[in-house]
Structure 1
Amino acid sequence: MILVTGATGAVGREVAGLLAARGPVRILARRPERVTVRGPEVDVVVGEYGDRRSLDRALRGVDAVFLVTNSPTEPDDERVAAAAVAADVRHLVKLSMMAVEEPGADDFITRLQRGNEQAVRESGVPWTFVRPRTFMSNTLSWAKGIASDGVVRALYGDSPVACVDPRDVAAVAVATLTGTGHEGQAYAVSGPEAITAREQTAHLSELLGRPLRFEELPLDRAREALLAKYPLPVAEAFLESAERQRAGAKAAVVPTVEELTGRPARTFRTWAADHAESFGGPGRAG
Structure 2
Amino acid sequence: MILVTGATGTIGREVLRRLLSDRPVRIMARQPGRVTGAPPTARIVHGDFTDPASLADALHNVHTAFLVTNPDGDDDDDTRFLDPARAAGVRHIVKLSAAAVTDRAADDLITRRQRHNEDLLRASGIGWTLLRPRAFMSNTLPWARSIRSGQVVRALYGTSANACVDPGDVAEVAVLALTGRGRDHAGGAYTLTGPQALSASEQTAQLSELLGLPLRFEELSPQQARTGLEARYPADITSALLESARRQHSGSKAVVDPTLPGLLGRPARTFRDWASDHLDAFRPDPTASS
Please, what TM-score do these two structures have when normalized by structure 2? Answer: 0.94
Quick check: 1:4–1:28 contact (8 Å CA) kept in 2? Answer: yes
| Structure 2 gap segments, 5+ residues each | 286-290
Partner of 1:210: 213
CA-to-aligned-CA distance 1:228-283 (integer Å, 9 cap, x gap): 0001111111100111111100000112221111111100000000000000169x
Q: Does 1:254 align with 2:257?
A: yes
RMSD: 1.3
Cα distance in structure 2, aligned partners of 1:270 and 1:97: 22
Alignment partner of 1:186 out of 174, 189, 205: 189
1:257-268 aligned at under 5 Å gives the runs 257-268=260-271
- Partner letter of residue 64 of structure 1? T
CA-to-aligned-CA distance 1:59-118 (integer Å, 9 cap, x gap): 111110000000533411111111111111110010000001110100010001111111
Percent identity, please. 57
Q: Offset at 1:38?
A: 3.5
How many residues are treated as equivalent by the alignment? 282
Cα distance in structure 1, aligned partners of 2:89 and 2:249: 44
Cα distance in structure 2, aligned partners of 1:261 and 1:83: 32
1:91-106 aligned at under 5 Å gives the runs 91-106=92-107
Quick check: 2:191–2:259 contact (8 Å CA) kept in 1? Answer: yes
Partner of 2:275: 272
Partner of 2:54: 54
Q: Offset at 1:181?
A: 2.2
Cα distance in structure 1, aligned partners of 2:177 and 2:225: 37
- Are the structure 2 counterparts of residues 225 and 22 from structure 1 closer, same or farther at C-alpha, using a change threshold of 3 Å? farther
SS at match of 1:187: strand
Q: Offset at 1:37?
A: 2.2
Quick check: 2:148–2:284 contact (8 Å CA) kept in 1? Answer: no
Cα distance in structure 2, aligned partners of 1:188 and 1:74: 22
Quick check: 1:205–1:212 contact (8 Å CA) kept in 2? Answer: yes
1:113-152 aligned at under 5 Å gives the runs 113-152=114-153
- Partner letter of residue 105 of structure 1? A
Cα distance in structure 1, aligned partners of 2:37 and 2:29: 12
- Partner letter of residue 188 of structure 2? Q
Large movers: runs of 4+ above 4 Å: none
Cα distance in structure 2, aligned partners of 1:22 and 1:225: 45
| Structure 1 gap segments, 5+ residues each | none
Partner of 2:2: 2
Cα distance in structure 2, aligned partners of 1:52 and 1:122: 21
Q: Offset at 1:20?
A: 4.0
